[in-house]
Amino acid sequence: MQSTLHLAEWGGILRPGANLAAMAATEKELRLRDSQVAQRKDADAAATRPGDPANAIECRGVTKRYDTSKAGLSGTTFSIRRGEFVFLVGPTGSGKSTLMRLLIKELEPDQGRVLVAGRDLGELTHKQLPFYRRNLGVVFQDFKLLPDRTVYENVAYALQVTGSSRADIREKVPDILRLTGLATKLHHYPDQLSGGEQQRVSIARAFVNAPPLLLADEPTGNLDPETSIGIMQLLYRINRTGTTVLVATHDSAMVDRMRRRVLELAEGVIVRDELDGQYAPTDMTTAEFGALLREPSPEPQRVPKKREPGDDFDEAFRD
Ligand SMILES: Nc1ncnc2c1ncn2[C@@H]1O[C@H](COP(=O)(O)OP(=O)(O)O)[C@@H](O)[C@H]1O
Ligand SMILES: [Mg+2]
C-alpha cells in the first residue's frame, strides 16, 4: 500500500496528459482525444478486474446505513471506467448523495469497498485525505459559493488552498472563467448573478485544478430547463477534456435525451445500468450535444423559454 499520494500520480492514472489547456482545445484535437478514449475504453473493458486502476470508480458490495431502519445504500456494486460520463438517477431518497459522499470520503461504508483509480478509500489515512480530495472536482445543487467574495476570488480561492503560486492563479483563473462564459462577470458577487451563472462559477472552481474526476450532485436542481442544458453542455465539455464525470440528477427526461450511461438507484439498490457503448456517439461537438438536449421531449412537452445570451456554450467553446 502506498504511503504517499501525489497529485500528478493520481491525475496520471485517471487521466493521462490532462491539463487545463484541453478545455481550450480545438474540435479537431478533441476528436483525436475522443478516439483515443474510445480505444482505451475497449482495452479497459477487456482487462477490467477488481482494483484495476483502469476503473476511475469502483464500488463493491457497498452498504451504508444511517440507522437501523433506513439504508442509504445496500450492497451496491458497479464500476466506471476512466473518461466516462455517467448519470446517477433515482428519486429523492434513493441514495445518490450518499454515494457521492462516500466518494468524497465524507462518509465511510458499513460494508464493502469504494475504490478510486484502483485504490481503496478505506486505506487512505487522515493525512492523505486532502491530497486525495485535490483530485476531485465537486459541484452541488446549491453552488456553495462564498457570498462575500467576487467570482474571481471564489475561483482563485480553490487554487490558493491547494498552494498554487500567485502567478499560477493569475494565469488560470481568467482562463477558466472565459471558458465557462463568465469573462464579463469577474468582479460580480454571487448575489449579482443568475442561478445558471452561479452554477458556472462553481463548476469553474471545481475544474480550475483540472481534476481527473468531477462529481456533480444535482447540479441543475435549482435551474430552469434551458439553463440546465447549458450546465450539462459545460459538464460534457469538461468530460471531453478526459475528466471522468459522474452527475447525480432526478431529471430523468434530460438524461434520456443525453444518451449516456445511466445508473439508476431505487431505495439504495442499483436497478438499472445502461452502458453507453451501444448508443452514445462520443464525438459529438458541444453544439451538437446541446441540440440533442433541446430535442423535443416525449410527453409532457417542455414549455419553450426565451433563450438568454450566455445560456449555452456553443459560442464560448467555438467548436
Ligand atoms: N444524515 C442522514 N441521517 C439519516 N438518514 C439519512 C441521512 N442522509 C440521508 N439519509 C437517508 O438515506 C436515504 C438516501 O438519502 P440520499 O443519499 O440523500 O438520497 P438522494 O440523494 O438520492 O435523495 C434516504 O432515506 C435519506 O432519508
Ligand atoms: Mg441528494
Is residue 89 assigned to a domain?
yes
Would you say residue 47 has pLDDT above 50? no
Question: What is the count of structural domains for the chain?
Answer: 1
For residues 216 and 155, give the distance between their C-alpha atoms in angstroms, rounded to a whole number: 17
Is residue 32 assigned to a domain?
no
Share of the chain above pLDDT 70, in %: 74
pTM as predicted: 0.80
**Ligand 2 midpoint to CA 248 (Å):** 8
Average pLDDT over residues 84-95: 94
Would you say residue 317 has pLDDT above 90? no
pLDDT at 319: 40
Is residue 110 assigned to a domain?
yes
Average pLDDT over residues 257-285: 76
Is residue 10 assigned to a domain?
no
Would you say residue 40 has pLDDT above 70? no
Is residue 241 assigned to a domain?
yes
Least confident residue range of 63-72, 166-175, 182-191, 269-278:
269-278
Would you say residue 316 has pLDDT above 80? no
Question: In the structure, which protein residues have their CB atom closer than 6 angstroms to any atom of ligand 1?
Answer: 66, 70, 72, 90, 92-98
pLDDT at 50: 59
Is residue 48 assigned to a domain?
no
Would you say residue 225 has pLDDT above 70? yes
**Which residue has better confidence, 13 or 294?**
294
pLDDT at 313: 42
Ligand 1: residue of 62, 94, 263, 271 to mutate (most ligand atoms within 8 A of CB) is 94
**Ligand 1 midpoint to CA 97 (Å):** 7
Supply the mean pLDDT for the chain.
81
Query: Which domain does 147 fall in, by range?
Result: 53-294
Is residue 138 assigned to a domain?
yes
Please give the number of the atom of ligand 1 that sits closest to the Cα of 98: 17
Is residue 109 assigned to a domain?
yes
Ligand 1: residue of 59, 62, 63, 66 to mutate (most ligand atoms within 8 A of CB) is 66
**140-158 confidence digits (pLDDT tens):** 999 999 999 999 999 999 9
CATH number reported for the structural domain that contains residue 142 in this entry: 3.40.50.300
pLDDT at 32: 72
Phi then psi for residue 135, to 5 deg, are -90, 0
Phi then psi for residue 306, to 5 deg, are -60, 130
